[in-house]
């Protein structure tokens, strides 16, 4: 199955790209498997493991680990401050 991955704000800068396309086996398709796959080839993906990084699955914030389906879009979003 294929998952589209997006990096938001500072995570885009950290990863050096706006996103990736990841292929996963159906039996291991969750957000943690995506992170593990990214960490295999990119040390910057360690930032995705931080508990303050939110997961946005198909435009909805979801808890970790998030189950994934073929064609899903998973975005990693750092915490924001505002005022």
Tens of pLDDT, residues 21-47: 999 988 879 999 999 999 999 999 999
Confidence of residue 76 (pLDDT cuts 50, 70, 90): very high
Note the pLDDT of residue 81.
65
Question: Distance of CA 42 to CAs 20, 36, 49, 56, 83, Å?
Answer: 12, 10, 13, 21, 34
Domains and CATH numbers, the chain: 2-77 (3.10.20.30)
């Amino acid at each position: 199955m294929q998952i589209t991955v997006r990096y938001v704000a500072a995570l885009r800068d950290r990863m050096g790209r706006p996103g990736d396309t990841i292929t996963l086996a159906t039996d291991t398709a969750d957000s943690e498997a995506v992170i593990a796959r990214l960490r295999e080839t990119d040390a910057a993906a360690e930032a995705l493991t931080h508990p303050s990084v939110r997961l946005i699955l198909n435009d909805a914030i979801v808890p970790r680990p998030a189950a994934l389906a073929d064609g899903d879009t998973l975005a990693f979003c750092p915490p924001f401050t505002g005022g």
